[in-house]
Amino acid sequence: MKVLYNARIYTLDKAAPLASAIVIDHGEILAVGGDELLAVFDRADKQDLQGYTVLPGLTDAHLHLQYYALSLQKINCETDTLEECLQRVKEKVQGSRPGEWILGHGWNQNSWGNWPSASDLDRVAPDNPVYLTAKSLHAAWANSAALKLAGVTAGMLDPKDGQVQRTAQGQPTGILLENAVLLISDLVPEPGIAALADAIETAQPILWKMGLTGVHDFDRRDCFLALQQLHIGRRLKLRVIKNIPLELLDHAYELGLRTGFGDEWLRIGSVKVFMDGALGPRTAAMFNLMSANRKTKGTLTWMANSCLSSHAGPPMSGLG
């Protein structure tokens, strides 16, 4: 048992919004109040927080836990300039075998002023397929080697609910939008369930430092299996609400699953559906053209619980 005191504790209780002491035992809060708790729990360990602020744990209502955890192993492409990102790719290539996939995440063309291209990556990675996902996860950037492996050519048609960005001459630029990213992402080797579980476990302390103690996860089956493996081994230290892919809703119904099934660490949540893209890569569906120099109204689509989304859908009260 421990008493944390001399703190500024925000309780979120309208009747008593602030407190200075809190009593914790085996992960449960026993009492919140003032200095009187020091005397009531006189045998507990005491820790002076020296006026620091204490907040309830935060819950991220929309997270792709698998992709976040794996992104920590990838190149951080969230840079101020295109050249800085290319330098990071170059350094990764120098430590990799020819033909090995080079993966990264986080670029945003709005920060750079222009869309990047496959030729930019070809300069620093001529012998490795490169696949870098945008910060929005609604777009991806690939080099010529990756485009060739995926069969992306000038003569091909755009996939359903996706777009291959092209030059005025019809050549692929290296930018893939919405479902077109699947042309390459489906070729990238996936980690096994055990490796994914390890990656999520490694990500947990980073999320804790952000104040997160719970998340709503929108990744798919492999992530759910990895979370169950962590839970069984008592290695899951985040409270996870796991959402169901729409195409599996009938199966969930037949099994009798409902929102809330599970325990305090891992339980079933909602079903997510959305119908357009994102503002970042200019794929959100709009009534009017987005800009004078880009003649598009976005992408009206139908995608359920996809790793491409950054839009949270409303929770459902049950799956039945």
**What's the CATH code, domain 76-185?**
3.10.310.70
* pLDDT of res. 297: 82
CA distance 54 to 3: 13
**What's the CATH code, domain 2-56?**
2.30.40.10
CA distance 274 to 312: 8
How many helices, marked H, and strands, marked E, lie in the chain?
Answer: 10, 19
- 105 to each of 41, 72, 76, 132, 210, how far by Cα in Å? 49, 9, 6, 5, 20
* pLDDT of res. 12: 92
* pLDDT of res. 246: 84
* pLDDT of res. 317: 31
Pairing of strands 8-10, 53-54: parallel
Which sequence spans correspond to the domains of the chain? 2-56, 76-185
Residues of the chain where predicted confidence (pLDDT) is lower than 50:
303-320
CA distance 320 to 318: 6
* pLDDT of res. 82: 98
pLDDT in tens, 217-251: 999 999 999 999 999 999 999 999 999 888 888 99
